[in-house]
Structures are given as structure tokens and as C-alpha cells.
Amino acid sequence: MKQIIYVDVLLALNFFINYFLLLSVGKVMRGGISRTRICLGAAFGAACSLTLFLPPLHFLAGGFLKLAISSVMVLAAFRVRSVRAFCRYLLTTCAVTFGFGGAMLALWLTVAPRGMYYRNGTVYFSLSPGFVIAVTVACYSVITIAGKICRRLELRGGECRVVIRCEGAECSLRLLCDSGNLLTEPFSGLPVIVARRNSLGNAIPQGFPQSGGRNFRVIPYSAVGGEGLLCAFRPECVEISMGRFRRNVDCYIAVSDELDASEYDGIINPKIYQS
């Protein structure tokens, strides 16, 4: 019995699959995610799903073809700034893609559901639009929830590195992730990192805090030992890194002379870079 394949269903289905595969790669790599670029990469991958109509390819030929397609998808979907970063993204994409393809092949060989066709690494289902939408929503929910859970487990009780740049000076701090640090600047609502004065070095602006200025603030705090005020400044750039995860954040740096954080230079609330 011949399998009838509708090109529009094939393209739409593979676009959805590629979109969430690339979104998963972005979550794993923890790099900047551009939905527009991911859609572009997914669209290219969907167009390449037309290889389903080619004669069955040899294993090696099929592998090289998938590698070339994955390479273009990575370049289209992510901002890759070096060969090393490209290789990391490509390996992660191949791992996710091969995992999905292997699952589809195993499903086809063992169950062979009606309306399913697998060839040259491309899968086709004859599905209703409602089912595709439901699966799309479910995949998005699973990816989002799993990403948040994994990130919170990783950051809980850990440490991170912060590079602060202000008025041409720069310093690097080792901070303790402390969810108890709930300080925010009262007017803007921006989060506050508390750091030791001697660890900031020349990154403290000249004249701070006597000269005041629009980037200087006095922030009230309450702790177990009592209440008080902390002088804070808003640097030009704050880059937070933990493992492969890097992010620029907009925040204030509160300067403390009495911070007790053991061997750390300060404390940070993990929510600053979980958001």
C-alpha cells in the first residue's frame, strides 16, 4: 500500500520539530536566543526535509548530508562568534537531532504507526492541525520548565564570577549565590549586588559616594544583625558568568565595609540572572 505524502504537512511538521530542536539547543548552550533566527534555521531545516523524496541514501552519504544541513541551521539560528563556539553548537545540535531521529527510527521499526513514514533521516506524520498544535504547546512547556528547574538546581548554593566595568576601570569578583539577598534599588527596581569595598579596587567611581550623581544611590537594607544604609553605584557594564553561562545585567553595586561572606567578594541573588 502506497504512502501518500502531503508536502505542506511535511514542511509544517518539520518546521515545528526543527524549531523546538533548535530551541532546546539554545537552552542547553545558554546563549542568547533570537526567536527570529531560530525560525530562520527551522525554516531551512524544513526545506531540507524534501530530501524525503530522494532515493534511499547510503549511511555515510546521509550522515554527511545531515551534518551539512545542521551546520547551516546552526549558523542561521545562533550568533556564533568563533570556530570553537560553532563546533560546540554543532555537536549539541547533532546530539539532539540524532537523539530525535533515533527515537523516530526506533518507533518506526518497532511500532510503525499508521501514517508515519521515515526516510533519509526525515520523518513524516499524517497528523491533524489540532494534534500538531497540542504537541507544540506541550514541547514548549516541557523545555521551559525543565530549563528553569535545571538552572535553579545548578545555581543553588553555588558561586559565580562577575566582571564590573566603570569609568574605564575593571574588576573581577567571586560572588556567593544567596537567595536571601533581596535588595533592589527603590526607584528603578533594579537588583543590587553587595560587594566588599577592597575587592572593587579602581572600579569604584571617583568621588563615590560624596559627590552624589544620577548613578549613585543610598539603599536601605535589613539583616539579622540590624538595619542600615548602603551606598551603591550603577556601573557601565556588569557581566555575570557561571560555567558556560554568561550574561550582561543591569544592576547596582552596593559597597560594604562589613560584609561577612567568608572567602567570597560579595553576594548575589541567583534570580538576577535566572530571569
pLDDT higher for 197 or 115?
A: 197
- DSSP label at 39? H
Read off φ and ψ for residue 106, nearest 5 degrees.
-65, -40
**DSSP strands (E only) in the chain:** 116-119, 122-125, 159-166, 169-177, 192-196, 216-223, 226-233, 237-242, 245-249, 252-256, 266-268
pLDDT tops 60 at residue 225: yes
Q: What is the DSSP string of 69-100?
A: HHHHHHHHHS---SHHHHHHHHHHHHHHHHHH
Predicted local confidence at residue 163, as pLDDT: 92
Distances (CA, A) of 44 to 9, 164, 193, 274: 15, 39, 43, 31
pLDDT tops 70 at residue 120: no
Give SS3 for 172. Answer: strand
pLDDT tops 60 at residue 132: no
Query: What is the rounded average pLDDT for all residues in the chain?
Result: 76
pLDDT digits (tens, 9 = 90+) for 141-154: 776 676 666 656 55
Averaged pLDDT, 120-137: 59
Q: How far apart are the first and last CA of the chain?
A: 52
Band of pLDDT at residue 6, cut at 50, 70 and 90? low
- Sorted by sequence, the CB contacts under 8 Å of residue 146 that are 6+ apart come out as none
Place of cell 560584609: 259
Cα(163)–Cα(257) distance, rounded to whole angstroms?
20
Q: Where are the domains of the chain?
A: 7-153, 159-274
pLDDT digits (tens, 9 = 90+) for 46-75: 888 777 777 776 767 777 877 888 889 899
Parallel, antiparallel, or unpaired: how do β-strands 252-256 and 192-196 relate? parallel
pLDDT higher for 239 or 155?
A: 239
Of 44, 37, 49, 69, which is closest to residue 6 (Cα–Cα)? Answer: 49
pLDDT tops 70 at residue 110: no
Domain 159-274 fold:
Cathepsin D, subunit A; domain 1 (2.40.70)
Q: What is the DSSP string of 95-118?
A: HHHHHHHHHHHHHHHHT--TTEEE
Predicted local confidence at residue 232, as pLDDT: 92
For the beta carbon of residue 127, count every other beta carbon within 10 angstroms: 15
pLDDT tops 70 at residue 240: yes
